[in-house]
Amino acid sequence: MASGFFAILDDIAALMDDVAVTAKIATKKTAGILGDDLAVNAEKATGFLSSRELPVLWSITKGSLINKIIIVPIALLLNFFFPIAIKFILILGGFYLAYEGVEKIIEFLFHRHENTKAAKDVIQDDKAAEKSKIKSAVTTDFILSVEIVIIALGTVLDRSVTVQILTVSVVAILATIGVYGIVALIVRMDDAGYKLVKHADNKGFLSTLGNVLIKSLPIIIKVLSFAGTVALILVSGGIFVHNIEFLHHLLPNLMSTIKEFAIGLAAGLVAVGVAEGVKKIILLFRK
């Protein structure tokens, strides 16, 4: 009886060792997407009143966890019963990411004054702005989570179903905790800086460090906003290149980053054009 119990413990330990190894490999494979996820979500989790930053971030984090609870079992089932569907889901997600990235570029280039006015309106109607930004962040997270889960699953296709389930689940949890933990640190930089300055009575090293944190946050946010937009386009381009045979072999001598960005940009322009066309058709019917 005791020997049977210890044999079960040995099996569990061996399984955990396997999962630790596969999770490490899968995390390395998804590192690029996790970096993009961080850039995108750090940009989306900022721009609120200081008192609302962590509640908004917590709402996005909960949405991200729900996304992964939905995605992981569906991805495993589709991979088992209907693997071709995963490719189509990724491509549709790629168009959504490309649309978001290109839409931001168009807004920056052609609607900057409108955005400035909208920023003032956010202060007056922050609840609506919060809901809108949370919804956008959770939707984007869903697409990026699909990519993360699929890549993680792809690293363990030759393993048992149990190892597949545990590995993908571990990577999904680590992705959520890691990304949103770092985002939380970023958005609270200025508050930490103010506390350091106050504690040091505006003198010495701690005060200097506090001022650096305060002044660095707007710069970091701008950099992350730019990086997040580029990340959306790059991830979408990568999805198309890796899942569409023709694009995979197109211009083989061109640097992969440039190729993926160009394809993502083109897909985004098409998606924005289609979306605008649909909006105009809907307005015509309403009239």
Q: What is the pLDDT of residues 219-239, one digit of tens each?
A: 887 777 787 788 778 888 888
* Res 119: pLDDT: 47
Radius of gyration of the CA atoms of the chain, in A: 22
Let me know: does 32 contact 152? Beta carbons within 8 Å.
Answer: no
pLDDT at 124 over 50: no
* Res 120: pLDDT: 46
Specify the DSSP element, H or E, that contains 255: none
* Res 121: pLDDT: 46
Mean of all residue pLDDT scores within the chain: 79
DSSP alpha helix (H) spans, 30-125? 31-44, 50-81, 84-110, 112-124
Q: What are phi and psi of 12, to 5 degrees?
A: -65, -45
pLDDT in tens, 22-32: 777 777 666 65
pLDDT at 125 over 60: no
- Evaluated on CA atoms 82, 23, 65, 241, the torsion sign reads negative
E strands within the chain?
none
pLDDT in tens, 26-58: 776 666 567 666 766 676 666 666 677 778 888
What's the rounded Cα separation, in Å, for the pair 269 and 223? 23
Higher pLDDT, 43 or 118: 43
Band of residue 184 on the pLDDT scale cut at 50, 70, 90: confident
Higher pLDDT, 82 or 20: 82
The number of beta carbons lying within 10 Å of the beta carbon of residue 53 is: 20
* AA letter at 97: L
160 by Cβ neighbours in 10 Å (0-12 / 13-18 / 19+) ranks as exposed
Percent above pLDDT 90 for the chain:
8
Band of residue 252 on the pLDDT scale cut at 50, 70, 90: confident
What's the rounded Cα separation, in Å, for the pair 15 and 10? 9
What's the rounded Cα separation, in Å, for the pair 50 and 52? 5
Question: Which residue from 187, 195, 213 is spatially nearest to 49, judged by alpha carbons?
Answer: 187
- For 11-44, give the DSSP string: HHHHHHHHHHHHHHHHHHHTHHHHHHHHHHHHHH
Reading the block at residue 131, the tokens are: 């809901």
pLDDT at 7 over 80: no
pLDDT in tens, 168-181: 888 888 888 888 88
Return the DSSP state at 200.
T
User: What pTM was computed for the model?
Assistant: 0.69
pLDDT at 122 over 50: no
Reading the block at residue 148, the tokens are: 């993360």
Specify the DSSP element, H or E, that contains 130: helix 126-154
pLDDT at 113 over 60: no
pLDDT at 117 over 70: no
* Res 265: pLDDT: 94
Three-point CA angle 176, 222, 173, nearest 5°: 5
Which residue matches tokens 């009239």?
A: 287
